[in-house]
Amino acid sequence: MFYRRLFRGILAVLLIAVLPLLAQAQDMANQPAARNLKDIKLTNFPGLPTCTVGAVVSGDPSKGPSVIVAKLAAGCVIPWHWHTGNEQLMFVSGTARYEAKDGKPATVTAGGFVQNPGHHAHQLRCTSACALYVNSDAPFDIHYVDAQGKELTPDAALKAVGEKAPKMP
């Protein structure tokens, strides 16, 4: 019991001393940036439908947290899938139908926000052309699934909704 209280006390002192240094290091690592959507070069992403283009605007999606900007054409569908990390979608323009397993479908418009917990299946269909920011708190991955939750290849999942993945160099 004594050692447990001693350990907690030492941990509290260390956290109080170290947290400001960690925050300062984080501030130094992040450089200020401002970019307008019209100035960002968008391209297709592997594993996503050809009706989707985007660009990484912050972080490295292959290694950790990131922000991606994406544009989806009217009628574009990203079929049922899940991500390892938590995902937030922030809509800039357009209208989309968002569905999550065990959830109620929602219409999302400009200024709208969607929260997807990690490993939670969802899909998105833009009913009019959409622009949105995708914020992931972990390396970005996409796992397509069928109605029973069985994992599918990107080609199979996209073909099932009349989409296809781009040919990447």
76-112: pLDDT as tens digits: 999 999 999 999 999 999 999 999 998 999 999 999 9
The answer to the question of residue 169 being in a domain is: no
What pLDDT is stored for residue 29 in this prediction? 45
Same-domain pairing of 25 and 41: no
CATH number at residue 136: 2.60.120.10
Distances (CA, A) of 82 to 2, 62, 91, 150: 45, 16, 19, 11
What pLDDT is stored for residue 30 in this prediction? 62
Could you tell me if 143 and 101 are in contact, meaning their C-beta atoms sit under 8 angstroms apart?
no
The pTM assigned to this predicted structure is 0.79
What pLDDT is stored for residue 131 in this prediction? 98
What pLDDT is stored for residue 166 in this prediction? 87
Average pLDDT value for residue range 17-35: 50
Average pLDDT value for residue range 41-53: 94
- Whether 2 has a pLDDT exceeding 70, the answer reads no
What pLDDT is stored for residue 34 in this prediction? 87
The answer to the question of residue 165 being in a domain is: no
SS3 content of the chain, % helix, strand, coil (to 5): 20, 40, 40
What pLDDT is stored for residue 164 in this prediction? 86
Same-domain pairing of 3 and 84: no
